[in-house]
Amino acid sequence: MMIVDCHTHINLDEDFDLDSFEQASAKVSNAFVLASACDNNNAANKIVAKYASENSKIVPFGVFNPIVDDLDSLRDFRQNNLCGVVIYCSDFNMHPAHSRAMEAYKIALDLQIPVFFHNTASTPEATLDYAQPYLIDEIARKFPELKMVVAEMGYPFREQTLALIKKNPNVYACLRVSSNFTFRLYHDVTAAYEASVLDKLFFGSGYPQGQINESVESLLGFNRTFSDTQLCSVPLAQLRDIVERDALEILGITQ
């Protein structure tokens, strides 16, 4: 059984312990490890690539800020063994379709690497306007072949995300599964089920904030959690499909 955790992080402000990661990821085949934005994104990308060279489970996503980073550094992603690019639009205070960003998406398409939008605003200085998933639709229209993933169902703009991924064949959403956000998970899953887009969702734990094994169990036990209520259920087979979806193949990722 293949399980790909499509949302884990390396935080350069903290020590990333490969032994702890190996233990936490025992039940998954691979994990997307997203470099966190910092003052030196190139340094962050070297670190995430280094960890990937030491653990074959890690699928490294390099961070790129189109406004300040040199486009040539993005052109070197493949050469530097980075499998995808993660962009933090809100934290970068950057409209997703900024002119420099559009140049970056063209490079990502040429390199055949996916773009992961982690647009939730994490600081008071971030621009929440730029977290709105509908803004990505302009990119999808311009680059319909570019594979893109919206983190955390575009939180807090879930409905926009559902419309976006239903409309655009190569845009997907990552469902962050956490036992700490029970009703958020319920609303995300049932809304996607009612919109008939469960097949466009990837599984993610948010490690190290979330624990990978617990997240798998939370999603597979989704109906059990609400069995004593009048709330609707979701077919277990479709929940299992999210957990076992081969995101590597779908996104065209080769390591």
Q: Indicate the domain borders of the chain.
A: 4-251
The answer on pLDDT for 13 being more than 70 is no
- Residues 231, 126: Cα–Cα separation, whole Å: 36
Tens-digit pLDDT profile for residues 180-200: 778 889 899 999 999 999 999
Question: What pLDDT sits at residue 83?
Answer: 98
Give the pLDDT of residue 209.
Answer: 82
122-140 pLDDT, tens digit per residue, is 789 999 999 999 999 999 9
**pLDDT value at residue 79:** 95
CA atoms within 13 A on the CB side of 13: 5
**pTM of the model as a whole:** 0.94
Residue 27 has pLDDT above 90, yes or no: no
Has residue 109 got a pLDDT over 80? yes
CATH number at 4-251: 3.20.20.140
Per-residue pLDDT at 11: 64
Smallest CA-to-CA distance from 7 within 80, 74, 84, 104 is with: 84
Q: Round to whole Å and give the CA distance between 64 and 68.
A: 9
Residues 21-48 as b/e (b if ≥16 CB within 10 A, e otherwise) read beebbeebebbbbbbbbeeebbebbebb
Please say if the pLDDT value at position 202 is more than 80: yes
Range in 51-55, 104-108, 121-125, 226-230 the model is least confident about: 226-230
Is the pLDDT score of 25 beyond 80? yes
- Residue 12's alpha-carbon distances to 80, 137, 145, 217, in angstroms, are 18, 31, 32, 29
State how far the Cα of 91 lies from the Cα of 136, in Å rounded to an integer.
Answer: 16
